[in-house]
């Protein structure tokens, strides 16, 4: 149980840090390229889904190895 919590927190922490920088980058690009807010939010949602699915896969594989 402790290993699962550690892996989840570690992976979500990394994706959170990446998400912060992606939000800044996408916001800058959306502002400069005059993209609509729908494109901005859709790309953030896609990034979030990728992060959650990757975390789920990594945790499942990491817990199965040991």
Q: Taking Cα atoms as reference points, which of 62, 65, 44 lies closest to residue 54?
A: 62
Q: Taking Cα atoms as reference points, which of 63, 66, 65, 64 lies closest to residue 4?
A: 63
19-65 pLDDT per residue, tens: 999 999 988 988 898 888 888 899 999 999 998 898 888 888 777 66
Alpha helix (H) residue ranges in the chain: 2-32, 37-65
3-24 pLDDT per residue, tens: 788 888 888 888 889 999 999 9
What six digits make up the tokens of 20?
A: 């912060």
pTM above 0.85, yes or no: no
HSE-CB for 20 with a 13 A CA cutoff: 5
């Amino acid at each position: 149980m402790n290993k699962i919590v550690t892996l989840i927190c570690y992976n979500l922490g990394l994706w959170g840090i990446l998400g912060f920088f992606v939000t800044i980058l996408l916001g800058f690009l959306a502002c400069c390229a005059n993209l609509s807010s729908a494109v901005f939010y859709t790309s953030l949602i896609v990034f979030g889904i990728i992060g959650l699915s990757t975390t789920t896969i990594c945790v499942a594989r990491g817990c199965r190895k040991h």
